[in-house]
Amino acid sequence: MSLRRLCVFCGSKVGTDERYRAAAVELGQLLVRQGIGLVYGGGSIGLMGVIADAVLAEGGEVIGVIPESLATEELLHPGVTEMHVVASMHVRKALMAELSDAFVALPGGFGTFEEFFEVVTWSQLGLHRKLTGLLNVGGYYDPLVRLVDHAVQEGFIKPKHRSLLVIEERPEMLLSRLAFETIVDEPK
């Protein structure tokens, strides 16, 4: 699969571990080196701002998608290549999905979890055939991965749907897998 644009979900905060910021910068730089554009939530704060700034500093493409309710001077990133201000969070997620070839979640909170699991669910339902990755910086997503594996064990998630998650600790490995792996089984 050729990756032209990667959608990244991530925190509006930088978190307490410096590795989160470093991973966002590294991923942003890798995107530009590999000719992949960034689609993200449009903010200038937190890990969102960090990855957008990293891509812009290297001369890459950054497409922001932000709902009107969050498009204030404090949140909206002023320097992106293209900014879409949309009516709602629902429209935001649909447009981000439409503009992207794959999805990655960096560390984040409820919003990051919700956006990530929505695109995973869309894949499970066959609404798209795009891979979804977790950048598991410093084991941040270990508890979430255990929960997903528990849901598989308890019969709530099919093993073939568990395989929709691509999980790596290093940005370069995650990008490599997203570029070369495909969804094998037809989700249903």
User: Would strands 37-40 and 165-168 be described as parallel, antiparallel, or unpaired?
Assistant: unpaired
Q: What is the CA radius of gyration of the chain?
A: 16
139 falls within a domain: yes
168 falls within a domain: yes
- CA distances 144 to 108, 113, 128, Å, are 12, 9, 23
Chain centroid offset of residue 50 CA: 14
132 falls within a domain: yes
Q: Are 186 and 124 in contact (CB under 8 A)?
A: no
48 falls within a domain: yes
186 falls within a domain: no
Copy the structure tokens of residue 153. Answer: 């064990």
Domain total of the chain? 1
pLDDT for 2 equals 81
Phi, psi angle pair for 157, to nearest 5°: -130, 130
187 falls within a domain: no
pLDDT for 187 equals 42
188 falls within a domain: no
CA distance 94 to 163: 23
CA torsion angle 48 11 102 150 (round to 10): 170
CATH code at 70?
3.40.50.450
185 falls within a domain: no
pLDDT string in tens for the chain (188-residue length): 589 999 999 999 999 999 999 999 999 999 999 999 999 999 999 999 999 999 999 999 999 999 998 888 768 999 999 999 999 999 999 999 999 999 999 999 999 999 999 999 999 999 999 999 999 999 999 999 999 999 999 999 999 999 999 999 999 999 999 988 776 554 44
Domain residue limits at 85? 5-180
pLDDT for 1 equals 57
